[in-house]
Amino acid sequence: MNELLNLLKQNALETPENLAKLLGLSVDEVKQKIADYEKDGVIRAYQAVVNEEKLDASLVTTVIEVKVTPEIEGGFDRIADRISRFPEVESVYLMSGGFDLLLFIKGRTMHDAFRFVSETLATMPGVISTATHFMMKAYKQNGIVMHTGDDDERLKVSP
């Protein structure tokens, strides 16, 4: 994968000056490439990876497996798009295997998730069945290990 994108995926706040030094490019080249990625929709957004556990009122993440009936025209796209538009839905993936769509939704309480499933999702035309799981703990998210404070156990100076 592209080195510049990799660096931005690790740290989207990295300055163009530092990126240029790391990659042996000029600052202008880096800025231009980033602008191109943004324009072409390769980079869709810049977000913070939040360790919810550290927050006083952390959100509940629910993972839902959904079986749907694909439509004659559009297959899964139309229903997936419809589901995606709900603000509480964080991610939607089309999967192979025993179900079709995998949803990640965020809510303040389990009840929020329950209401979304029972009132919104299950009643949606085309949805055949759902299976709901509550996420208990995030160990690693977007490539970032959630616990902090790993000590460097190496000697401070070595040959």
Residues forming the site for other proteins (CB under 8 A)? 3, 7, 18, 21-24, 152, 154-159
Tell me whether residue 55 or residue 157 sits nearer to other proteins (CB atom).
Answer: 157
For 82-151, the DSSP string reads HHHTSTTEEEEEE-SSS-SEEEEEEESSHHHHHHIIIIIITTSTTEEEEEEEE----SEETTEES-----
Give 27 or 122: the residue with its C-beta nearer to other proteins.
Answer: 27
CB 159, min distance to other proteins, A: 5
Minimum separation from the CB atom of position 140 to other proteins (A): 13
Q: How far is the CB of 52 from other proteins (least distance, A)?
A: 23
**45 CB neighbour count, 10 Å cutoff:** 6
Compare residues 44 and 156 and give the one whose CB is closer to other proteins: 156
Supply φ then ψ for residue 128, to 5 degrees. -90, -45
Which is closer to other proteins, CB of 22 or CB of 128?
Answer: 22
